[in-house]
Structure 1
């Protein structure tokens, strides 16, 4: 079953002193492109997170965000009281003002606030890792749902191309007869006596140049192969893209050989359906 590269997942866990929110978004991209945002406390785990995302999402433009909200009384940030008092003393020597205003100014100056870097608690990280796994599973489900919608669209458009191809096949004898009549009329207009055997040989050669039997057979095969590839266990957007290219090659050849306006109109409609397939394939994993 195919998967879309578009996906979204979010998980929230409550730890003893903090709330952790994990959010992952993915969009289509030729390769895997991961953008990770997280507090500095967890930066040492970034490589592990990237490896995990790469193993699960494979391809796409991925935005990973980990947000932390302190909910307990503990905090690693402290006011450097000695430094703040020195700042206030020096400020009073420069300007007049009440203590509250002096404090507001002092607290913004360098080293007025210090933050101690805590080590990651492994039990805490285990819960966060499980939440990341859960978020990736949500994205996987999202991608499958989107993939089902894409699959239905592909099946419908392949049916449309098949129907148009059936009309081309039904029209082909009429087209060949039209070629024969135009050649006969051309000979009659120049009022020249011709060798009938030689004329028939030239006519056969001319008609063979415009024969589209092989293209019709190959296009039918490509359409069947595309539908089978849609039902495979793996989602392979690149493989489907290659099949669509081959479909386009046969449709273009039919158009160039047709030399018949009603058939060329059908070819234009086939090209339009195929272009819509190709556009949607850009979002298939």
Structure 2
């Protein structure tokens, strides 16, 4: 317990404004997953998961519904515990590293009785004035400074997700977990949000882990794409493309096709080396 309190105290002491000399450089957490499994009763959801994510890396996790990708995200967040194996965030257990971790969902999960600024300020340390100042800075980062004093109900779906993103940014996360946050948005708003998330990630350099069904989204945003099938890692693909990535770029389309071919291939036709539980590391596109 003392160790946990010390970690939180150090984290709060190290907090800096979103803007300024040190604000734009936020070192991400290193993620280490070793032999992790998760069972619900007799049903295995994840098994034999080994995954290393370097500080500041952007990793996308893709797979069919029910494959275990959101379960893995919950384990990384500390909201759930593994049945076996070990997870470390900068050598700390997820629960211990919680002050440095934020998660964003498909549903913005805003409190309807709180104004936008107070939704963003929720859980921040300091006085009400200090919390609101931090919240306004975060809202400015997502282009919603002028909507701070409005109610969530008057915002569009995309704007509500921007508020949810601002709420995460206000805590200056070193690890941002994204659980299909753009899945319910229309196509154009989704692209705009992808660009916003990428720009903020490039500015603040937190580690990002995105769960998505959209392979094109994974290729557009990620340094690596991890495919989970039947609760195991079936593919670990490096995305060696310059940023920002153009829509319709042939190299992006090639990587997208590679992942989709793997996803859609019948079990009997899948290469033995790519069957669930085996990895393909450090594959890049020229």
TM-score, normalization by structure 1: 0.22
Select the structure with the greater relative contact order (CA < 8 A; seq sep ≥ 6).
Answer: 1
Q: Which protein has the bigger helix share?
A: 1
Return the index of the structure with the highest Cα Rg: 1
TM-score, normalization by structure 2: 0.22
Q: Which protein has the bigger strand share?
A: 2
